């Protein structure tokens, strides 16, 4: 038997059938559902008189539209009537089709990509989908996880399957050890800076190497979360003992009788010695520094000790044009040192960086310091109700509040500004989210992507600063 990649193994174990031109029907083990991309799918089911194929394979929670301010009154506290309708529609659909849902006031509610792993609802070896591109996150568990559109949401609901073609396999190895203060976020931004936002298009990416196996599971979730920003629908990491330890005891994890059998299976979830990838990229982890994006695409990224690049130095005309447009939108001059860029707001949260380790890293920086006077708002939005409770048990909420941060309820929040949390036109934000697209955090808003520690450091300094240099 020839050596297989992890992707081969994940793919092959889910093929229901393949037709003559290579199009496969693959089985989906876990379908995560949120309020934005599901209403039209449920409506489609209803119109066709169809029922969900296997309700227990689904798990829903509202996240994009929920307010992060006081909301103990439930859905009725959502001020925007259209947002409220969307959350109510999710509740109604889950009720009527019998789909398990963590509703807005459930302590387990949160960002769907934080909730899945936290509950053990996304497990090694699974296929995981959601009508959300950041579903790649769950690949950190050694799962094949990818985002789908609403037509496919309906397809999975109705058939528990998807029609897919196998992608090509890429391995990205980050060798060596990263320096202290360099996080999973910096690693993935550095990768995107290297291969570009289309570098992974058509590929499923396996992240490997010393710097990746050194990451905690939460770090790997951050890493895989942004595989889509490199163009890859799916990114994943092989299962190791950290993965198994992480899963053990979680509510949806296998019970005692199945545990040993599951673990035996999970230990095979790695690429075999000698497995061949369509493409391999090797990076030196020890050379990676804290990263800051300067433009309107995640590939427009530099290290904290660098300056905003000059389009004049770019040979490709289309690319140079894109850089000029980005500089204009961002209100930046080429050549400005990154550390000179001053911020208006800071956002710590999102499916990329809102887990307990992210909050601990930010709190460590915030502890005993104050948010700079010039910062209008510094938000900390935990990824789930359980993350929030854990942080509060550790006293992190007090650290943040004492330092001048706002401590909020869980949700997607200012990552995409579908709720009330957003930037005003022209405002500049240090954000731990995943996309710095034009208007992403509010029309005219300017986003710089960074790690949680770097965001907290920027909040304290009022401008970007290498977290290691903070007084």
Partner 1 sequence: MEKFETFTGIVCPLDRSNVDTDAIIPKQFLKSIKRSGFGPNLFDEWRYLDQGEPGMDNSRRPLNPDFVLNDPRYQGAKMLLTRKNFGCGSSREHAPWALEDYGFRVIIAPSFADIFFNNCFKNGILPIVLNEEIVEKLFSMAGHQQALALTVDLQEQHLSLSDGETIPFEVDAFRKHCLLNGLDDIGLTLEHVDAIKAYEARRQSEAPWLFA
Beta-bridge partners for 31: 58, 129
Q: Least distance in Å: CB of 26 to partner 1?
A: 9
Our CB check for partner 1 shows the closer of 24 and 361 to be 24
Is 435 an interacting residue with respect to partner 1 (CB under 8 A)? yes
Phi and psi of 250, rounded to 5°?
A: -75, 155
Q: Least distance in Å: CB of 230 to partner 1?
A: 10
Q: Least distance in Å: CB of 213 to partner 1?
A: 25
Is 176 an interacting residue with respect to partner 1 (CB under 8 A)? no
Phi-psi domain of 442 (left: phi exceeds 0; alpha: psi -120 through 50; beta: other): left
Q: Which of 341, 417, 347 is nearest to 378 (CA)?
A: 347
Residue selected from 55, 175, 194, 201 as contacting partner 1 according to rule CB under 8 A: 201
Q: Give the Å distances, CA to CA, from 135 to 121, 338, 362, 441.
A: 13, 31, 24, 20
Give the per-residue contact string, 97-136, with partner 1 (x = CB under 8 A; - = no): --------------------------x-xx----xxx-x-
Residue selected from 25, 281, 320, 420 as contacting partner 1 according to rule CB under 8 A: 25
Is 417 an interacting residue with respect to partner 1 (CB under 8 A)? yes
Residues numbered 221-250 forming contacts with partner 1, rule: CB under 8 A: 228, 231-233
Give the per-residue contact string, 318-357, with partner 1 (x = CB under 8 A; - = no): xx--x--x--------------------------------
Is 78 an interacting residue with respect to partner 1 (CB under 8 A)? no
Our CB check for partner 1 shows the closer of 251 and 335 to be 251
Our CB check for partner 1 shows the closer of 57 and 375 to be 57
Residue selected from 67, 116, 142, 147 as contacting partner 1 according to rule CB under 8 A: 147
CB 403 within 8 A of CB 460: yes
Whole-angstrom distance, CA of residue 352 vs CA of residue 337: 26
Q: Least distance in Å: CB of 393 to partner 1?
A: 29
Give the per-residue contact string, 375-414, with partner 1 (x = CB under 8 A; - = no): ----------------------------------------
Residue selected from 1, 21, 47, 70 as contacting partner 1 according to rule CB under 8 A: 21
* In the block, residue with structure tokens 């109705």: 158
Whole-angstrom distance, CA of residue 271 vs CA of residue 222: 21
Our CB check for partner 1 shows the closer of 147 and 209 to be 147
Our CB check for partner 1 shows the closer of 161 and 341 to be 161
Options 175-183, 254-262, 356-364, 400-408: segment touching partner 1 (CB under 8 A): 254-262
Our CB check for partner 1 shows the closer of 2 and 264 to be 264
Q: Which of 141, 169, 129 is nearest to 41 (CA)?
A: 129
Q: Which of 49, 219, 225 is nearest to 130 (CA)?
A: 225
Phi-psi domain of 231 (left: phi exceeds 0; alpha: psi -120 through 50; beta: other): left
Whole-angstrom distance, CA of residue 46 vs CA of residue 48: 5
Options 81-89, 100-108, 209-217, 361-369: segment touching partner 1 (CB under 8 A): 81-89
Options 37-45, 102-110, 392-400, 458-466: segment touching partner 1 (CB under 8 A): 37-45
Residue selected from 61, 83, 119, 243 as contacting partner 1 according to rule CB under 8 A: 83
- Which structure tokens are listed for 347? 């956002």
Is 265 an interacting residue with respect to partner 1 (CB under 8 A)? yes
Is 19 an interacting residue with respect to partner 1 (CB under 8 A)? yes
Q: Burial level of 3, CB count in 10 A (0-12/13-18/19+)?
A: exposed
């Amino acid at each position: 038997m020839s050596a297989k990649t992890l992707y081969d193994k994940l793919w092959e174990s889910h093929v229901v059938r393949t037709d003559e031109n290579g199009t496969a029907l693959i089985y989906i083990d876990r379908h995560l559902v949120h309020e934005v991309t599901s209403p039209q799918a449920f409506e489609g089911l209803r119109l066709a008189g169809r029922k969900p194929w296997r309700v227990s394979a689904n798990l829903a929670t509202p996240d994009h539209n929920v307010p992060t301010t006081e909301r103990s009154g439930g859905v009725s506290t959502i001020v925007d009537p259209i947002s409220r309708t969307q959350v109510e529609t999710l509740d109604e659909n889950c009720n009527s089709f019998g789909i398990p849902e963590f509703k807005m006031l459930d302590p387990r509610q949160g960002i769907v990509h934080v909730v899945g792993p936290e509950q053990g609802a996304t497990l090694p070896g699974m296929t995981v989908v959601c009508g959300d591109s950041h579903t790649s996150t769950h690949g950190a568990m050694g799962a094949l996880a990818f985002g789908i559109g609403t037509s496919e949401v309906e397809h999975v609901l109705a058939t528990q399957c998807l029609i897919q073609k196998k992608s090509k396999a890429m391995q990205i190895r980050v060798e060596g050890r990263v320096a202290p203060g360099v996080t999973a976020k910096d690693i993935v931004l550095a990768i995107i800076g290297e291969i570009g936002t289309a570098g992974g298009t058509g590929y499923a990416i396996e992240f490997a190497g010393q710097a990746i196996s050194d990451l905690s599971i939460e770090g790997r979730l951050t890493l895989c979360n942004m595989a889509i920003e490199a163009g890859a629908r799916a990114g994943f990491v092989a299962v190791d003992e950290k993965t198994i330890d992480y899963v053990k005891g979680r509510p949806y994890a296998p019970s005692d009788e199945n545990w040993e059998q599951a673990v035996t299976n999970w230990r095979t979830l790695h690429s075999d010695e000698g497995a061949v990838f369509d493409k391999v990229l090797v990076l030196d982890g020890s050379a990676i520094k804290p990263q800051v994006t300067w433009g309107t695409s995640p590939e427009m990224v530099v290290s904290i000790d660098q300056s905003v690049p000059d389009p004049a130095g770019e040979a490709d005309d289309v690319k140079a044009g894109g850089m000029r447009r980005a500089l204009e939108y961002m209100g930046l001059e080429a050549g400005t040192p990154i550390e000179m860029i001053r911020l208006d707001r800071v956002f710590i949260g999102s499916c990329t960086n809102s887990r307990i380790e992210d909050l601990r890293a930010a709190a460590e920086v915030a502890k005993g310091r104050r948010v700079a006077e010039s910062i209008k708002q510094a938000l900390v939005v935990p990824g789930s109700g359980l993350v929030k409770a854990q942080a509060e048990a550790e006293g992190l909420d007090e650290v943040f509040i004492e330092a001048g941060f706002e401590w909020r309820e869980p949700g997607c929040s200012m990552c995409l500004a579908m709720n009330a949390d957003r930037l005003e036109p022209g405002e500049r934000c240090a954000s731990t989210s995943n996309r710095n697209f034009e208007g992403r955090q509010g029309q005219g808003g300017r986003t710089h992507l960074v790690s949680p520690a770097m965001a907290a450091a920027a909040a304290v300094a009022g401008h970007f600063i290498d977290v290691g240099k903070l007084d």
